Amino acid sequence: MSDLPHSIEDLKDEGHGARLTIDIGALVDNWRAMQKLSSPARCSAVVKADGYGLGAKTVSTALYQAGCRDFFVATAHEGVAVRQHAPEARIYVMNCILPGIEQICRVAELVPVLASMQDVAHWTSACAANGEHPCALQVDTGMNRLGLTVAEAVALSNDITRPAGFSPVLVMSHLACADVPDHPHNNKQLEAFRMVASSFGGIETSFSNSAGILLGADYKFDLTRPGIAIYGGAVGHHVKPRTKPVVTAETRIVTIRRAKRGETVSYGASVILDRDSRIAVCSIGYADGYLRALSGAGVVLRAHDERGAHGHAHGTNLPVLGRVTMDLTAFDITDIPDGMLKAGDFIELFGNNVALDDVARAGGTIGYELLTSLGSRYQRLYVNRSGED
């Protein structure tokens, strides 16, 4: 009995049905690669959504130690979390349009990104009451999401009566089609942003996300904002920077079943086996962010392509069989020699052998959604393999 754990805390890393191995060295190398591509612009890091699902604490700490001094988050509370690990960085809050965040921004020294004339009025009023505090200005150049119109921004820049409390340290916009390099909307947005940038002379400007950095020097301006490229995801249909995989997701086999040709697997009996099969039932499902759309069959919205996703083990791709369920997914391991896999072993979901974006495409989505959907049931292992191939 003396070998038993002494407390619940001793059990925190036991009993996981899936694990994430996150290579912080690869993440830092990817940021440095984007930093080099951004030159002569400065390179920030987008660490919203809990560092794209990989842990904002670890991600922001590693990037700060690597020299990153500009971070972008979505909410003020995300900014507070990052501030603890990036003490001298400038942290921009991009969705800072909700009331009641003024005090948070001041106490945590966050820079709110104002995205409408109402935001500008609200912020200048707050500054008049409490003293000046830096802000950033978002301009909509053709996405129709957040931002002042170009006309509003230019008028604001020329308004000699604008309050002294309005003191932006950055003017930014966001590309809608940067992942398609020859899309005409890119140049249209560029011309609009140039007009805005020239109106706010002497203030830093930011335009490019990961894919935008690869569009060329005209798109870099003063500060770039890579996100998905840092985390090892693809940035577009035609352009792929030399970034490294950062996260490997694996699931543990719960049991191995044998089934006969003609039998069915999972809900809806949507797949009928065409051979005698060995099936690895694994502890992963859509509650873990392994999307139902990755199912091997029985997904109505993907009726045009029934192949679904696959896992990987021992050099072999292992198709998903039938529907992904909340907590369990079946993989076809028939092509692996009998006895090579057993209950408790792991199957890779994505990582070095199965590309994140290939899995995303199999589910009709993008790598961003897979990463940011990762649930809380994974064991998370942080490693540093920098310098390895």
| 52 given a catalytic annotation | no
Within 10 A of 376 (CB to CB), how many other CB atoms are there?
A: 8
Q: What is the CA radius of gyration of the chain?
A: 24
The C-alpha atoms of residue 208 and residue 217 are separated, in whole angstroms, by 10
Strand 110-114 and strand 90-93: pairing? parallel
| 267 given a catalytic annotation | yes
Q: DSSP 3-state assignment of 308?
A: coil
Within 10 A of 178 (CB to CB), how many other CB atoms are there?
A: 24
Q: How far is CA 97 from CA 123, 138, 162, 319, in A?
A: 10, 11, 20, 45
Q: Of residues 48, 244, 368, 378, which has the active-site annotation?
A: 48
DSSP E strands, the chain: 18-23, 42-43, 45-46, 70-73, 90-93, 110-114, 135-138, 168-172, 204-206, 223-224, 247-259, 264-265, 271-272, 277-282, 310-313, 316-321, 329-332, 346-350, 378-383
Q: Which backbone phi and psi does 165 adopt, to 5 degrees?
A: -70, -10
- The angle subtended at Cα 131 by Cα 171 and Cα 167, nearest 5°, is 15
Report which of 198, 185, 112 is spatially closest to residue 150, judged by C-alpha positions: 198
Helix, strand, coil percentages, rounded to 5, for the chain = 30, 20, 45
The C-alpha atoms of residue 144 and residue 381 are separated, in whole angstroms, by 39
Q: Of residues 12, 36, 240, 267, which has the active-site annotation?
A: 267
Q: DSSP 3-state assignment of 127?
A: helix
Cα end-to-end span (Å), the chain: 44
Residues classed as catalytic: 48, 267
